[in-house]
Amino acid sequence: MLKQEKLRVFCKVAIEEACKRWKIELVILKVLPEHSHLIVDCPRTISDAKLMQIIKGLSSYILFRLYPEFRKTYRNGEFWNDGYFCASCGSDFEKALRYIENQELHHSC
């Protein structure tokens, strides 16, 4: 859990860097204490599963280097849970964007 603002910033930087390295455009990212929401525009050659493998795997790798103290909490080296939800926004892009923008209100962070 990322209760401290500093840890959420590290997580945000790690996700941003993972996306940048793979030329995945990060449209919006909200890192909350217990989970994250993001909208990305990725190359069509990357499947949803590969996209999540890149974002979760590489951001975890970067995060453990930015903040080595995480090794004390996440001893097995796995920061993210196994699951994820991934969907296309399509014509509901504005609705998805507003949903993510309002996550602090929804979760009372």
CATH number at residue 12: 3.30.70.1290
Tokens representing residue 106 in the block: 């929804």
Task: Give yes or no for a contact between 24 and 51, defined as CB atoms under 8 angstroms apart.
Answer: yes
Residue 16's domain spans which residues? 5-107
* pLDDT score of 71: 87
CA 28 – CA 70 distance, rounded (Å): 25
Q: pLDDT of 51-67, one tens digit each?
A: 999 999 999 999 999 99
How many distinct structural domains can be found in the chain?
A: 1
Q: pLDDT of 68-105, one tens digit each?
A: 998 888 888 889 999 999 988 888 999 999 999 998 77
pLDDT above 80 for 1:
no
